[in-house]
Chain A
Amino acid sequence: MKSKSKKSNLYSFWFVVPSLAIFCIFFLYPIVTSLYYSMTVWNFDSATFCGLDNYKMFFSENSLSSSIVHTLIYAFLTSGLKVVIAFFIAIFLTSKIRTKGFIRSCVFFPNLVSTMAVGLTFCALMHPTKGLFNVVLQAIGFSPINFLGDINLALYSVIATDVWKGLSISVVIYIAGVQSIDKTYYEAASIDGASAWQQLKSITLPLVAPSQNSIIILSLIGGLRTFDLIWAMTGGGPGFATDVMASVIYKEYAYGFYGLSTAGNVIMLVLISCIAFPLQHFLMKREEAIQ
């Protein structure tokens, strides 16, 4: 009891107030009011209450089921690729090579450019006839690939671009994780004759688990609500081939169906929390088990 009151004394609640106030006023309050609007037919001048009709209509949307599938593919694939690729890049960049500063900077560059600019650039690079990727493919004897025009491929082309752009944060988090591992573990393992691969597997991998969990959570949530890059590159097309939940909602919003799109937002929130919270719980448990 005593220590608790001392704690709250030292760590005054007032420190949280500025953040909390700004967040609640400018983010949470509008979200809560929008919950009401999700149950209305809402245009400029009026909001007519319609119960759960918007939710029903959103669920009857033609492209909804495919857009949920695309969202899940997108989120799990970008997250998975970032977790794996960034790990190896981080290992590479924490070794004794001399060019790590240069390489790390280069990996970070894409993060500095806006999503729209990246989207426009990659659309140009992936052009089916004159884009650089296809020019190279043809030069080495392959037939050209219609990266963004082929409905079976377009989603994966956007995913690849997302990984290219978003890899750097994961790499940086991993590097920090690897650097904080106590060097004596490796020394002891070397003395015992463990190979580099064994060290990687039984020391580095378990001990970067906290960093890895952060990466998984952040990139998965980011992937589930992804919108910018898809919008910049394909606009959800060709046809509906790359429509994700956020782009369906955006289009409804753009068309002035505010109630309907708000209902979509609520559904998206529920979907994300259903995935994110249990996953986080699971990852924390795993982390505790390792340590």
Chain B
Amino acid sequence: MKKSVVAVSLAAVMALGSVPATVFAEDGAKPYEGVTLNMWMSVSEYQDGTKAVMEKATEELGMEFQVEINPGGTEGDNIIKTRCASGDLPDITNYNSGSLLTALNPKEHFLDITDEEMTQKFDDTFLSCVSQDDRVYGAPFTTTQAGAVVYWKPDYEELGLEVPKTWDEFVSNCQALKDAGKTPVYLSGGDTWTTQVLFLGDNYNVLAKNPSFADDFTAGTAKFATDEGALASWDKYADLVDFYNADSTAAKYEDGLEAMATGQATHWFILTQVVPLMIAAHPEAEENIGVFAVPGDDAENAGLTVWEPNAWYINKDSANTEAALAFLDFWYQEENMDLYINTYGANGPSCIKGYTLPDSVAPAIREDMQAYFDEGKTAPALEFLTPVKGSTCEQITTSAALGQIDGATAAQMYDDDCKKSAVQQGLGWE
């Protein structure tokens, strides 16, 4: 059904003769018929939205796709590094931007796309996260997202609470929720990476206090244990220990998604990529889900910490770079971005200049998050500002979240961890 509609509309468009030359060969044949692109992504990226656009590309451009699943997480990092080192990457790889990309030394492995037409559409913040020596190597896979608090609006309405502007307000909201017999904060400690979000998502507040923190940190002069704002991030964990769900140590990301979309808990420190998944599982919850930034201590300056999306990287030694570029070009056609978002959803505002999210996107994204962007109150997460990230970060944040160590100890441990990372990267910390 769908296919025939596309075919009919294509025929109509072609009859009008307004087909962009880059998409179709002159005789209307599919220009990349017979080409198979090897793709590598994790199962979280290989979802319906991605599949829909890939299918459409096969229909219109002709190339076929063969997808290899990357395990993701620590294994994923491990395997991609190993395969970079052995010179064995597929045609197109989907991987993080920011410090994890820097660690791969992209100029050695990926195609320079600085001068491609599509690259002009990407906004500057994104570009800075996929560049090395001012050359661009990656193209955004999806929209931005934030490390923030996802919350259940009906609980706020029921108790007459206000969206907190400061950490103290947040903690007193939690106390009120607890007194009312609710689970104030959801912790999905079974997926340890999720425990990092409070710490990493607090970067706006760290930078608000000390705008040069990221640079000083990279230089090795600023430390989490000694910078006032940075230490405060770690101290926040201690305030929440009493507010968690009963299965906080084992709960998975999935469980959190389910609990939050059904109102079993009020707050969750999480990446906003969860929002489309929550709505897919529980469409009726769309209006009840809200997002606010991790609170700091200045009510006038509450801002959001933003993650740039994963990116597509083309193997520079691929035999199919032309087809790969054509596919990426196709990916950023407005109708195809709409197709992706209408199929899958959006994690946050787009990093494509001039592109506005379609109306299908949830209010938590289109209103709550967009407001911070409109006011300019956003800052990138630290991993997009410095190549240094401690290798055991999620273990330290889990320890802190479970109250095994206090904020000062955690900050000190994290500093030691980062030092190791910096030395291994040859940054010359001493």
Q: What are the residues of chain A within 8 A of B420 when measuring CB–CB?
A: 57, 61, 257, 260
B424 near A260 with CB under 8 A, answer yes
A251 near B391 with CB under 8 A, answer yes
Task: Kindly identify which residue among B74, B395, B405 contacts A254, using a CB–CB cutoff of 8 Å.
Answer: B74
Is A63 interfacial (CB 8 A cutoff)?
Answer: yes
Task: Kindly identify which residue among A43, A240, A260 contacts B395, using a CB–CB cutoff of 8 Å.
Answer: A240
Q: What are the residues of chain B within 8 A of A257 when measuring CB–CB?
A: 391, 420-421, 424
Q: What are the residues of chain B within 8 A of A119 when measuring CB–CB?
A: none
Q: Using known A-B contacts A239-B402, A256-B81, determine if residue A57 contacts B192 with beta carbons closer than 8 Å.
A: no
Q: Interface size for chain A: under 10, 10 to 19, 20 to 34, or 35 or more residues?
A: 35 or more
Q: What are the residues of chain A within 8 A of B425 when measuring CB–CB?
A: 43
Q: What are the residues of chain A within 8 A of B423 when measuring CB–CB?
A: 41, 57
Q: What are the residues of chain A within 8 A of B84 when measuring CB–CB?
A: 44
Is B392 interfacial (CB 8 A cutoff)?
Answer: yes
A238 near B399 with CB under 8 A, answer yes
Q: Interface size for chain B: under 10, 10 to 19, 20 to 34, or 35 or more residues?
A: 35 or more
Is B103 interfacial (CB 8 A cutoff)?
Answer: yes
Interface centre among B103, B104, B395 (most CB of A within 10 A): B395
Q: How far is the CB of A227 from chain B (nearest CB, A)?
A: 12
Is B90 interfacial (CB 8 A cutoff)?
Answer: no
Task: Kindly identify which residue among B78, B108, B417 contacts A45, using a CB–CB cutoff of 8 Å.
Answer: B108
Q: Using known A-B contacts A239-B395, A255-B391, A256-B103, determine if residue A128 contacts B250 with beta carbons closer than 8 Å.
A: yes
Task: Kindly identify which residue among A48, A240, A250, A259 contacts B399, using a CB–CB cutoff of 8 Å.
Answer: A240
Is B207 interfacial (CB 8 A cutoff)?
Answer: no
What are the interface flags for A130-166 relative to B under an 8 Å C-beta threshold, 1 for contact and 0 otherwise?
A: 1100000000000000101111000000000000000
Complex CA–CA separation, A129 to B249 (angstroms): 10
What are the interface flags for B81-93 relative to A under an 8 Å C-beta threshold, 1 for contact and 0 otherwise?
A: 1001100000000
Is A223 interfacial (CB 8 A cutoff)?
Answer: no
Is B68 interfacial (CB 8 A cutoff)?
Answer: no
Interface residues of B in 121-145 (CB under 8 A from A): none
Task: Kindly identify which residue among A63, A123, A148, A237 contacts B398, using a CB–CB cutoff of 8 Å.
Answer: A237
Q: How far is the CB of B163 from chain A (nearest CB, A)?
A: 30
Q: Using known A-B contacts A44-B84, A45-B105, A254-B78, determine if residue A237 contacts B250 with beta carbons closer than 8 Å.
A: no
Q: What are the residues of chain A within 8 A of B392 when measuring CB–CB?
A: 63, 240, 251
Q: What are the residues of chain B within 8 A of A260 when measuring CB–CB?
A: 420, 424
B77 near A129 with CB under 8 A, answer no
Is B416 interfacial (CB 8 A cutoff)?
Answer: yes
Complex CA–CA separation, A256 to B192 (angstroms): 20
Q: What are the residues of chain B within 8 A of A151 when measuring CB–CB?
A: 402, 404
From DSSP, what is the main secondary structure of chain B's interface residues? helix
A43 near B105 with CB under 8 A, answer yes
Q: How far is the CB of B228 from chain A (nearest CB, A)?
A: 24
A239 near B424 with CB under 8 A, answer no
Complex CA–CA separation, A148 to B105 (angstroms): 37
Q: Using known A-B contacts A45-B108, A146-B250, A255-B421, determine if residue A236 contacts B395 with beta carbons closer than 8 Å.
A: yes
Total A-B pairs in contact (CB under 8 Å)?
Answer: 103
Interface residues of B in 326-385 (CB under 8 A from A): none
A44 near B189 with CB under 8 A, answer no
Q: How far is the CB of A131 from chain B (nearest CB, A)?
A: 8
Q: Using known A-B contacts A45-B105, A150-B249, determine if residue A235 contacts B402 with beta carbons closer than 8 Å.
A: no
Complex CA–CA separation, A254 to B393 (angstroms): 14
Is A253 interfacial (CB 8 A cutoff)?
Answer: yes
Q: How far is the CB of B194 from chain A (nearest CB, A)?
A: 12
Task: Kindly identify which residue among A128, A251, A253 contacts B249, using a CB–CB cutoff of 8 Å.
Answer: A128
Q: How far is the CB of B90 from chain A (nearest CB, A)?
A: 18
A127 near B247 with CB under 8 A, answer yes
Q: Using known A-B contacts A238-B402, A254-B77, determine if residue A129 contacts B424 with beta carbons closer than 8 Å.
A: no
B426 near A146 with CB under 8 A, answer no
Complex CA–CA separation, A173 to B294 (angstroms): 58
Task: Kindly identify which residue among B77, B189, B396, B426 contacts A255, using a CB–CB cutoff of 8 Å.
Answer: B77
Q: How far is the CB of B394 from chain A (nearest CB, A)?
A: 8
Q: How far is the CB of B265 from chain A (nearest CB, A)?
A: 13
Q: What are the residues of chain A within 8 A of B396 when measuring CB–CB?
A: 239
Q: What are the residues of chain A within 8 A of B426 when measuring CB–CB?
A: 41, 43, 48
Task: Kindly identify which residue among B250, B402, B413 contacts A127, using a CB–CB cutoff of 8 Å.
Answer: B250
Q: Using known A-B contacts A237-B192, A254-B75, determine if residue A149 contacts B85 with beta carbons closer than 8 Å.
A: no
Interface residues of A in 55-94 (CB under 8 A from B): 57, 61-63
Q: What are the residues of chain B within 8 A of A128 when measuring CB–CB?
A: 246-247, 249-250
Complex CA–CA separation, A132 to B404 (angstroms): 27
B391 near A149 with CB under 8 A, answer no
Q: How far is the CB of A244 from chain B (nearest CB, A)?
A: 13
Residue of A nearest to B400 (CB): A239
A62 near B413 with CB under 8 A, answer yes
Is A287 interfacial (CB 8 A cutoff)?
Answer: no
Q: Using known A-B contacts A62-B413, A127-B250, determine if residue A238 contacts B189 with beta carbons closer than 8 Å.
A: yes
Task: Kindly identify which residue among B81, B108, B395, B424 contacts A41, using a CB–CB cutoff of 8 Å.
Answer: B424
Q: How far is the CB of B189 from chain A (nearest CB, A)?
A: 6
B424 near A62 with CB under 8 A, answer no
Q: What are the residues of chain A within 8 A of B250 when measuring CB–CB?
A: 123, 126-129, 131, 146, 148-149
Interface centre among B189, B250, B402, B404 (most CB of A within 10 A): B250
Q: Using known A-B contacts A63-B392, A260-B424, determine if residue A253 contacts B78 with beta carbons closer than 8 Å.
A: yes
Q: What are the residues of chain A within 8 A of B421 when measuring CB–CB?
A: 255, 257
What are the interface flags for A86-118 relative to B under an 8 Å C-beta threshold, 1 for contact and 0 otherwise?
A: 000000000000000000000000000000000
Interface residues of B (CB under 8 A from A): 74-75, 77-78, 81, 84-85, 103-105, 108, 189-190, 192, 246-250, 391-392, 395-396, 398-399, 402, 404-405, 413, 416-417, 420-421, 423-426
16 contacts between A and B (CB under 8 A): A43-B424, A43-B426, A44-B104, A48-B426, A123-B190, A123-B250, A126-B250, A128-B246, A128-B250, A130-B247, A146-B249, A237-B395, A238-B249, A239-B398, A240-B399, A251-B391
**Known pairs A62-B413, A129-B247, A257-B424. 16 more at Cβ < 8 A?**
A41-B424, A62-B416, A126-B250, A130-B247, A149-B247, A149-B250, A236-B395, A237-B395, A238-B404, A239-B396, A240-B395, A251-B74, A255-B424, A256-B103, A257-B420, A260-B424
**Which 3 pairs from chain A and chain B are nearest by CB?**
A149-B249, A239-B399, A254-B78
